[in-house]
Amino acid sequence: MNFIYDLHRTMMSQNLILVYQGDFTQESTKSILSMAERNLDSSGEDSSIKRKVFNVMVEALQNIVKHSDELIDGEMRSHAAIFLIGKETNRYSIMSGNPVRKSNIPNLHKKLDQINALDKDGLKELYKEIIKNTTISDKGGAGLGFVDMARKSGGKLEFEFPEMSPDYCFFCLKVNVPRETDN
């Protein structure tokens, strides 16, 4: 049972204030958002920072619900993923991880690289372009989520794809939201 203490120490050392691991549904997403909102409200955080953090959380959670690939391991099927929020002196970190088929990674990597190459004005233009020219995909997205996360955070999206199996990688995403307001 030492793993409980080890997990606690890891969470403390990584400044994690919320962690959820499991299957993600619309209902679990609502519960996570509600817990996080209470935590942000009780922290006395500036309202503009809370809005940015909440917006990034919503986009990250929707990304998991809509775009996580079903992991098929033998006969077991799972949509298991992880969502974390960290709070440091100067920023919040919203992190997520979910299984993705290796065949989907090149397109995802290209999209994220394109977003990370843009400045504030470039992100605004891409956002407008997507709204004007894109139809909603069969999974319910128009590709705005990552752009919106980059715009709200004002920073680059950090990501990795550690290998899980011959067919799947684990898509790790980290978005940092500064705790200072822009003047």
In the predicted structure, residue 133 carries a pLDDT above the cut 90: no
Residue of higher predicted confidence among 159 and 37: 159
Please tell me the distance from the alpha carbon of residue 177 to that of residue 149, in angstroms, as a whole number: 9
- Under a CB-based contact definition with an 8 Å cutoff, are residues 129 and 121 in contact? no
Task: State the chain's mean pLDDT as an integer.
Answer: 88
Averaged pLDDT, 122-132:
90
What 40-46 contacts at long range (C-beta under 8 Å, 24+ apart), as own/partner pairs, is 43/87, 45/179, 46/179, 46/181
Torsional class of 3: left (φ above 0), alpha (ψ -120 to 50), beta (otherwise): alpha
| pLDDT band with cut points at 50, 70 and 90 for residue 89 | very high
Q: What is the DSSP letter of 102?
A: G
| Tokens at 107, concatenated | 């397109």
Residues 6+ apart with CB under 8 A from 138: none
**Tens-place pLDDT, residues 49-68:** 999 999 999 999 998 887 77
Can you give the pLDDT at residue 131?
84
Compute how many other C-beta atoms are within 10 angstroms of the C-beta atom of residue 48. Answer: 10
Averaged pLDDT, 94-99:
94
Please tell me the distance from the alpha carbon of residue 119 to that of residue 159, in angstroms, as a whole number: 18
Q: What is the CATH number of domain 2-178?
A: 3.30.565.10
Averaged pLDDT, 148-164:
96
